A and B are shown apart, each in its own frame.
Chain A
Amino acid sequence: MQTPLIEFRKVSKRFDGKPVLDRVDLSVYPGQVTTLIGKSGVGKSVTLKLIIGLLDPDSGQILFEGRDIGRMSRKERRQMRERFNFMFQHNALFDSMTVFENIALPLQEKTRLNKRDIEERVRSKLESLDLLGIEFKYPSQISGGMQKRVALARALISDPQVVLFDEPTTGLDPMRKNSVLSMITHNQRNFGFTAILVSHDVPDVLYISNRVAIIEQNRIIYEGSPHGLEQSQQSVVKEFIYSLEALKKDICGLPDRSELEKAYMKAVHAWHTAGTFGVLVFRIKDYRAIEEEIGEFGAFEVLNTLAERLRSYVGSWNYIYGRYDQNTIVCLLPGLENKEACEPVLWRLAEDLQAQTVFQPNQYTTYCYEFSVVAGCIIGSDSMQLDELVQAAQPELKTLVRLSCAQTTNRGSYA
């Protein structure tokens, strides 16, 4: 197995008695991009500062190429540090120096290159990062995105072997964020340096990472590949990966499948004494195709509209509902004795949905993609699991509403 370039062994760090890192183990392998993710204030930046020696650990060992940094002589530490560079969260550009002087500083101070060579190298770096034309401006005269790129240029100018990036994309617009992440990837591929990133940009940052470590409650709760991260069953880990889904869930107000199952199990006993209950199943057909054809936001709007309208019609019931899977919503209504009793709900809902803008073909002026929402109703029994109820409802699914690009009508079977 490959030997780690940097290794944390039971490293602890406290500030004013408050633990920030508690017996942390971490391995960083050469030539890889390792990303540290975690909530704000969990010690990600502290980890980077410990690596570069801006802070010392209270206990434990930090090894560089198998050697304990704490036991290195001052000369060895300096030699080690020469191989590192650091890109700060807030850039830490020298505000009294021009962009050119900022980037040239490590070369002027740490190499014996002549003025012409330094100028050439800085110009080439400016060019590769699309910064030409601002070299004689001061950091305060350029935008935040440009400042980030200047900081990146300064971090890479001395061709370091290890580059530490402390939240390189914080405060950038999505386009600039992507551009910075792509710059890091390209430069890492070109120069082969080892990159350690601290970032909140999940899941974007996972695409450029070889290894991921999640810090939570002063410890590393996951360390491994981004692929392994997806497989993880830990709730905190899932929370990070599905942070975007969590946002969607919050906006829709739809509980997820596990929450739906929990609510069903809790309620089914109470409903057993009250009588039977209706199971309404809604499915957006070809959801992934909708995402691809009319876009992610368009598909989300369809889901959100369906959830919102459903909520408004069943609001008076003591109902349970949630997202069974990506494109299926399940709603359980107590007190229904036969499936005909839930038909009026579906009819009214169908009529309402037909009037919604997401089902109007004239809303899709550039590109239209035909899709439909199907729905069905069965009467549930408390002896059945939620999965069985959904399966049982499959034959009952009929078109509730559809978007037809060519026709003027969008009425389905419930109209």
Chain B
Amino acid sequence: MPMTWNGSPFSEASLGFLQIPAWLGRNAIQLIKELGAVFLFFLRGLVLIFQYPFQIRKIIQQIYFIGVKSIFVILLVGIFTGMVLGLQGYYTLVKFGSEGVLGGMVALSIIRELGPVLTAIMIIGRAGSAMAAEIGIMRISEQIDALVTMDISPIRYLFSPRIVASVVSFPLLTALFDVIGIIGGYLSGVLLLGVNSGIYVSRMEGLVGMNDIVGGFYKALGFGLIVVTICCYQGFYVHTRREGFGAKGVSLATTSAVVISSVCVLITDYVMTSFLL
């Protein structure tokens, strides 16, 4: 069941500071339960990917929805992120006379951090919210119950193809973001501000290592799994929300899906970065 805070430590029934630890404890237990439920949901989805017959058609449909349909927004965000980085980087580096490393700086920033994080956040906004809303509506209109009565596992039918699609789409879109971002940096740094193009490229080649690319790839993969699990989970269990049912419940589930997955992406980014560096 999607988590909600269990009351307030300062409510009428729980006066006094001694109630605060109890309130914290209650919510901590609730949080742990919630994390366990999300993890089990993910595991079931993961295992059911391999159940025969494979859902190739549905996976392709989801790759199209999550991946292909996100290309334009990724291109747009990627190019402007790269251009802004080029611009800001140039004016900072020029103070130290090291504008030559602009290519390396732009490439490293994008490949290591901005590429995976911004791609994930863009996909959350475009596809993650849609996933939560679609599955939520299916839940409240008994379509998920209909699948159960037809002996079709709703987790396998709705969640598993989306896991595969995310695993495929997130790294590819991140790679696209990286390339477009670097080109954006080139446009502003080289074409607008006059940095030498050869130096831009050679410094980039020199500074970016395979481990940076692999690290960015791992991050994209991790973000993909986190986003798809949280968004599908929020939609799937929309009927168990205490704060709202029906359309309101779906709207709350969609908001929670976007907020929780964005926060989790940023937290995971920090954790993964600390391990990868």
Contact of A110 among B141, B142, B145, B150 (CB under 8 A): B150
B117-157: CB near A (< 8 Å → 1, else 0) gives 00000000000000000100110011101101111100001
Whether A78 contacts B145 by the Cβ 8 Å rule is no
Q: Which residues from chain B contact A397 at a C-beta distance below 8 Å?
A: none
Compute how far the CA of A338 lies from the CA of B143 in the bound complex, rounded to whole angstroms: 73
Q: How far is the CB of A407 from chain B (nearest CB, A)?
A: 62
Q: Which residues from chain A contact B137 at a C-beta distance below 8 Å?
A: 95
Q: Which residues from chain A contact B146 at a C-beta distance below 8 Å?
A: 86, 88, 92-94
Q: How far is the CB of A222 from chain B (nearest CB, A)?
A: 28
Q: Which residues from chain A contact B149 at a C-beta distance below 8 Å?
A: 52, 54, 81, 84-86, 164
- Provide the main secondary structure of the chain B interface: helix
Chain A residues numbered 158-188 whose CB sits less than 8 Å from any CB in chain B = 158, 164
Whether A106 contacts B142 by the Cβ 8 Å rule is no
Q: Which residues from chain A contact B145 at a C-beta distance below 8 Å?
A: 49, 54, 88, 92
Closest-by-CB residue of B relative to A105 is B150
Asked whether A71 is an interface residue with its Cβ less than 8 Å from the other chain, the reply is no
Q: How far is the CB of A9 from chain B (nearest CB, A)?
A: 23
Q: How far is the CB of B171 from chain A (nearest CB, A)?
A: 27
Closest-by-CB residue of A relative to B134 is A96
Q: How far is the CB of B52 from chain A (nearest CB, A)?
A: 11
Whether B143 contacts A94 by the Cβ 8 Å rule is yes
Closest-by-CB residue of B relative to A49 is B145
Q: Which residues from chain B contact A94 at a C-beta distance below 8 Å?
A: 138, 143, 146
Size of the B side of the interface (Cβ < 8 Å), in residues, is 14
Contact of A92 among B134, B143, B151, B157 (CB under 8 A): B143
Whether B157 contacts A109 by the Cβ 8 Å rule is yes
Which of under 10, 10 to 19, 20 to 34, or 35 or more describes the interface residues of A?
20 to 34
Compute how far the CA of A86 lies from the CA of B143 in the bound complex, rounded to whole angstroms: 12
A90-111: CB near B (< 8 Å → 1, else 0) gives 1011111000000001100110
Whether A110 contacts B148 by the Cβ 8 Å rule is no
Whether B151 contacts A78 by the Cβ 8 Å rule is yes
Whether A109 contacts B150 by the Cβ 8 Å rule is yes
Contact of B142 among A92, A96, A105 (CB under 8 A): A92
Q: Which residues from chain B contact A54 at a C-beta distance below 8 Å?
A: 145, 148-149
Compute how far the CA of A70 lies from the CA of B277 in the bound complex, rounded to whole angstroms: 53
Q: Which residues from chain A contact B143 at a C-beta distance below 8 Å?
A: 92-95
Q: How far is the CB of A260 from chain B (nearest CB, A)?
A: 47
Compute how far the CA of A95 lies from the CA of B148 in the bound complex, rounded to whole angstroms: 17
Asked whether A82 is an interface residue with its Cβ less than 8 Å from the other chain, the reply is yes
Compute how far the CA of A78 lies from the CA of B143 in the bound complex, rounded to whole angstroms: 19
Q: Which residues from chain B contact A52 at a C-beta distance below 8 Å?
A: 148-149
Q: Which residues from chain A contact B152 at a C-beta distance below 8 Å?
A: 105-106, 109-110
Q: How far is the CB of A367 from chain B (nearest CB, A)?
A: 48
Closest-by-CB residue of A relative to B151 is A81
Compute how far the CA of A90 lies from the CA of B146 in the bound complex, rounded to whole angstroms: 11
Closest-by-CB residue of B relative to A81 is B151
Q: How far is the CB of B139 from chain A (nearest CB, A)?
A: 11
Compute how far the CA of A293 lies from the CA of B141 in the bound complex, rounded to whole angstroms: 47
Q: How far is the CB of A79 from chain B (nearest CB, A)?
A: 9
Q: Which residues from chain B contact A49 at a C-beta distance below 8 Å?
A: 145
Contact of A90 among B138, B141, B150 (CB under 8 A): B141
Q: Which residues from chain A contact B138 at a C-beta distance below 8 Å?
A: 94
Q: How far is the CB of A211 from chain B (nearest CB, A)?
A: 22
Compute how far the CA of A93 lies from the CA of B145 in the bound complex, rounded to whole angstroms: 11
Compute how far the CA of A84 lies from the CA of B145 in the bound complex, rounded to whole angstroms: 13
Q: Which residues from chain B contact A85 at a C-beta distance below 8 Å?
A: 149-150
Q: How far is the CB of A160 from chain B (nearest CB, A)?
A: 10
Contact of B141 among A78, A81, A95, A105 (CB under 8 A): A95
Q: Which residues from chain B contact A95 at a C-beta distance below 8 Å?
A: 137, 141, 143
A14-56: CB near B (< 8 Å → 1, else 0) gives 0000000000000000000000000000000000010011100
B93-119: CB near A (< 8 Å → 1, else 0) gives 000000000000000000000000000
Q: Can you give 13 contacting A-B residue pairs, CB < 8 Å?
A: A54-B148, A85-B150, A88-B142, A92-B145, A93-B143, A94-B138, A94-B146, A95-B143, A96-B134, A106-B150, A106-B152, A109-B152, A158-B150
Other than the known A49-B145, A92-B141, A164-B149, what 15 A-B pairs have Cβ atoms closer than 8 Å?
A: A53-B148, A54-B149, A78-B151, A85-B150, A88-B146, A90-B141, A92-B142, A92-B145, A92-B146, A94-B138, A94-B143, A95-B143, A96-B134, A109-B150, A110-B150
- 9 interchain residue pairs of minimum CB distance: A86-B149, A92-B146, A92-B142, A81-B151, A106-B150, A109-B152, A88-B142, A82-B151, A92-B143
Interface residues of B (CB under 8 A from A): 134, 137-138, 141-143, 145-146, 148-152, 157
